[in-house]
Amino acid sequence: MAANLLLLYLLAAVASIAGAAEVNAVLAFKRALVTIPPEAAGFFATWHDGATSPCNFTGLACDSRGRVTAVSVRGQGVATDSVPFDKICASLPALTALALPENALAGDIAGVALCTNLHELTLSFNGFSGPVPNLSPLKNLRILNISSTSLAGPFPWKSLLSMRDLTVLAVGDNPFLDPTSTFPDEVTKLTNLTALYMSAANIGGAIPPSIGDLVNLVDLELADNNLVGAIPPEITKLTNLRGLQLYNNSLTGQLPAGFGNLKKLQYLDASMNNLTGSLFELRSLTQLVSLYLFFNGFTGHVPQEWGEFKELVAIFLYSNNLTGELPQSLGSWAQFSSIDVSTNALSGPIPPDMCKQGTLLKLLMRDNNFSGEIPATYASCKTLQRFRVSKNNLSGDVPEELWALPNLTLLDLAGNQFTGGIGDGVARAAALTELYLAGNGFTGVIPPSIGAVSNLEVIDVSSNELSGAIPTSIASCSKLRTAKFAGNKLSGVIP
């Protein structure tokens, strides 16, 4: 009996000592903080020196033996010049998750390699600097997120080979990492990955065919790098993809055959590359929510199937070489917000129902060959902020209520064949800052109500058929910095 009691006493003593060590390790992190914002005070209120166990500290989790298994201090805005990773890792042997994102933490991260039982290491959106240490000891990692920091030097790509269970790798937005001349092969051996975020990480070379081995990927982000060559055909094996970000590289060639097999794809951004060919492969991506392909060399027609896409809310195709007509039912199904197809060679009428759900913010279609009238449906689009259709072949009278849209900041109708007058309803365009009407056939007078547009900064009505005097009320537009009236039949003096 006595021996049993002694054993229990010793076990309790050991547990007490271990608990005290864990309390001290956690409090060492708090003491290292030089800034705890007032809004974070409540979070740290339970982190007090008198505690015998850290298991009641906010942001911590413990196992059944009272050992700390997780430390999570997310988005509290706390700041320090040095995080005592070595003490945290040495004193918390059961720690499996260390998450400190979205703070103002600085210093090096060398000590994290001592946390050998980690399943998650998330240090993103901080000011950590210095080299990325050898992470090979962290062979149990499932999540590695060190994105958006100031870490520098070579990344230890080979250390990833020890992390066979890794599902999330996020090393993007680290502009001080040494550039690579080729895509790191080690990455494509991590076949359990569901998310790969390597944007803005100075990655060079071609996307390797072995990218197709990452068949579990849901999100692939390789934007803002120095990638060259074609998008490999093997990417079409990634049939679980929902997000694909390739923008701002130097990719060339066409979308590979079979790209339409990515039927779960919702978010595609391959803008700012040198891609060519048609958009034919995108006709079957019915789950698309947003599509960004601007600043490329795509040719041919916009797929008519897009008019039936029920999830699509944003399309940005400007600065390509696209021709033909847009689907007339485009944007009519979902809560469509934005379209920019400027600087192409598109023709035909403007699709009438892109504000059918009352959510359209931007309609940008300048520098094309669109014809016909502005659909009357847009006159009731109260959410519209930017309406830009300059340099087309549009004609007819402008729908009266279009002049009066309350949230419109920019109205650009220049370089068309519009007729009729400038609507008196412009007085109700409370948000309007820029009005471009040059190079049309507008007639009548400039309405005196223009003086009520208090936010107006630019007005250009040059090269029309306007007559009468420039209204004196325009002097009330105190923010006006540019006014152009030349090329009309106006009389009198400029107020």
Structure tokens at 29: 């992190």
β-pair partners for 339: 315, 363
Q: Is 122 exposed, middle or buried (0-12, 13-18, 19+ CB in 10 A)?
A: buried
CATH code assigned at 340:
3.80.10.10
Name which of 341, 380, 335 is nearest 360 in CA terms. 335
Contact 43, 58 (CB under 8 A): yes
Structural domain containing residue 105:
2-365
Residues 58-78, buried b or exposed e (16+ Cβ, 10 A)? ebbebeeeebbbbbebeebeb
Contact 116, 140 (CB under 8 A): yes
Q: Average pLDDT by consecutive 10-residue portion of the chain (495 residues)?
A: 42 48 94 95 92 95 97 97 96 98 98 97 98 98 98 98 97 98 98 98 98 98 98 98 98 98 98 98 98 98 97 98 98 96 98 98 98 98 98 98 98 98 95 98 96 96 97 94 96 82
Residues 237-257, buried b or exposed e (16+ Cβ, 10 A)? bbeebbbbbbbbbebbebbbe
Overall number of domains in the chain? 1
Q: Give a yes or no: residue 214 inside a domain.
A: yes
pLDDT score, position 81: 96
CB-based contacts of 190: which residues, under 8 Å, 6+ apart? 160, 163, 164, 166, 169, 214
Q: Give a yes or no: residue 411 inside a domain.
A: no
Q: Give a yes or no: residue 42 inside a domain.
A: yes
Structure tokens at 444: 């009548």
E-strand ranges in 39-179 read 60-62, 68-72, 79-80, 97-99, 104-107, 120-122, 127-131, 143-145, 150-152, 168-170
pLDDT score, position 14: 37
Longest dimension (CA), the chain: 113
Q: Give a yes or no: residue 60 inside a domain.
A: yes
Q: Give a yes or no: residue 147 inside a domain.
A: yes
Q: Give a yes or no: residue 404 inside a domain.
A: no
pLDDT score, position 18: 52
pLDDT score, position 8: 37
Please give the helix or strand (H or E) that residue 209 lies within, else none. Answer: none
pLDDT score, position 492: 80
- Look up tokens 């196992």; give the residue: 63
pLDDT score, position 493: 82
* CA quadruple 328, 333, 337, 343: dihedral, nearest 10: -20
SS3 content of the chain, % helix, strand, coil (to 5): 20, 25, 50
Report the alpha-carbon distance of residue 125 to residue 290 in Å, rounded.
Answer: 25
Phi/psi at 10 (5° precision): -65, -40
Q: Give, in order, the Cα–Cα distances in Å from 147 to each of 59, 317, 330, 385.
A: 21, 29, 37, 34
